[in-house]
Amino acid sequence: MRKGILGCVLIGILFPALAWAHFIIAVPIKGQGYGLRGQEISFRVLFGHPFEGILFDLKVPKGYVITPSGEKATVSFTRIEIKDYASGKKRFGYRVDYLPTERGDHLLCLEARPYLNQEEGEVWKDFMKTPFHVQVERGWRNRCGFKLEIIPLTRPYGLRVGQVFRGKVLLNGKPAAGLVLEVEKFNGFYVPEEKLPVDAYGRINDPLITQTVVTDENGFFAVGFPEAGWWVINASLPSGRTSYANRTFPLIIRSGMWLYVFPAKAVAPTGLELLGN
């Protein structure tokens, strides 16, 4: 237990939250992660800061869908251009179209090509998954099979604001203790710096943009969501060194999961009371 806590402290010192806060964004173009059998569902796959809406170019990733029966289905990527309002430039992303042929819970699984973060002097290897629900509850505990993967213990759809989501992080199939996870909302629009939350000293309030959660000695974690919308949970792990462009850099493996959270809205009273006076 003490070793796990020490590892968390060291990771927090070496990899501050600001350095981590850009991820693969993989969310459906329409809807909240629900679909129908025989009806195509389309995803946008981008790379950037989800909260601020700052985007970067993304090299075409590898990807597939895990079906409710646990089979692996192929997907194709169509390159798209999308404007990054922070720089005024057009960035490259991708559109993924998938036609569910069976009812149940599917996983869009993505593996990005290694990316050199020049500011941090690190190479990132990113994995990301997005569950989507097709009519019946079946298969939401399936896995993409990543080396580092977040496993839901709470059903990863039908979530509401205020609900606690529980999960487990596995590294090579074993619990990953002491890992720091980041949790951030995708606003879906550009938020200029002057619109970002600030603290009492007038500085950007980063803790209100990116939450952090630590896995316990068995790899478990729990997180709540204060607002409705799409949220990413992302784990990061130092993993030795790797070669990139004829140089050697620290390698960071990162693996995340996108979830949609509904508003905490009660059903409106109908006037048909079951318990009268």
**Domain assignments of the chain as residue spans, ordered by start:** 2-262
What mean pLDDT is reported for the chain? 91
Q: What is the mean pLDDT of residues 192-207?
A: 95
Rounded to whole angstroms, the Cα distance separating 151 from 161 reads: 20
Q: Please provide the CATH number assigned to the domain covering 2-262.
A: 2.60.40.10
Q: What is the pTM of this model?
A: 0.90
Strand, helix or coil for residue 216? coil
CA 88, 184, 155 angle in degrees (round to 5)? 130
Cβ within 8 Å of residue 130, ≥6 positions away: 26, 27, 28, 33, 43, 107, 108, 257, 258
Q: What is the pLDDT of residue 277?
A: 58
Between CA 16 and CA 61 the distance in angstroms is: 26
Q: Does the CA dihedral 122-214-177-25 come out positive or negative?
A: negative
Determine the Cα–Cα distance for residues 54 and 189; give it in Å rounded to an integer: 9
pLDDT digits (tens, 9 = 90+) for 31-64: 899 999 999 999 999 999 999 999 999 999 999 9
Model pLDDT for residues 130-155, shown as the tens digit of each residue? 999 999 999 999 999 999 999 999 99
Stretch 155-164: mean pLDDT, rounded?
96
pLDDT of residue 21: 74
